[in-house]
């Protein structure tokens, strides 16, 4: 793993959350994007080397909607940048981690992504991401 690439924060409403995080981080949202396969709208902020990704569900059945309903708004995942996502997935499986997807899938911000099951990472949802 190369670095923390971004921290994902689940929110109820991007329209209210974007201005809040612009004030908090003292920077503008530089990108919004819909990831229809994941039923989310995203908004990105850059501070130094790290990005903050806000996630809003586009469907009541979406993973983010269920997360917010169960746990409320807050940190959803930590994403680590990797040089070779498939090699890193194989390494982690060999170390005993459980992946939530068998193959990398397309994520936001021009990335290939894979998630690790939080039951095997002390309750923290970990995302691996690699630039396409």
Mean model confidence pLDDT for the chain: 96
Q: Are 95 and 116 in contact (CB under 8 A)?
A: no
Cα–Cα nearest to 24, from 3, 40, 41, 9: 9
pLDDT band at 106 (very low <50, low <70, confident <90, very high): very high
Q: What is the pLDDT of residues 43-100, one digit of tens each?
A: 999 999 999 999 999 999 999 999 999 999 999 999 999 999 999 999 999 999 999 9
Q: What is the pLDDT of residues 3-59, one digit of tens each?
A: 999 999 999 999 999 999 999 999 999 999 999 999 999 999 999 999 999 999 999
User: CA-to-CA distance for 18 and 117, rounded, in angstroms?
Assistant: 28
Q: Which residues contact 58 (CB under 8 A, 6 or more apart)?
A: 34, 36, 39, 40, 41
């Amino acid at each position: 793993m190369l670095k923390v690439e971004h921290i994902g924060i689940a929110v109820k409403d991007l329209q209210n959350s974007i201005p809040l995080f612009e004030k908090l981080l003292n920077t503008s949202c530089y990108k919004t994007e819909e990831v229809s396969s994941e039923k989310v709208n995203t908004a990105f902020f850059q501070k130094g080397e790290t990005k903050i990704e806000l996630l809003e569900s586009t469907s009541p059945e979406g993973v983010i909607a269920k997360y917010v309903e169960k746990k409320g708004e807050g940190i959803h995942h930590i994403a680590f940048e990797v040089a070779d996502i498939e090699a890193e997935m194989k390494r982690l499986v060999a170390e005993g981690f459980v992946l939530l997807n068998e193959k990398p899938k397309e994520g936001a911000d021009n990335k290939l992504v894979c998630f690790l099951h939080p039951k095997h990472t002390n309750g923290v949802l970990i995302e691996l991401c690699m630039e396409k």
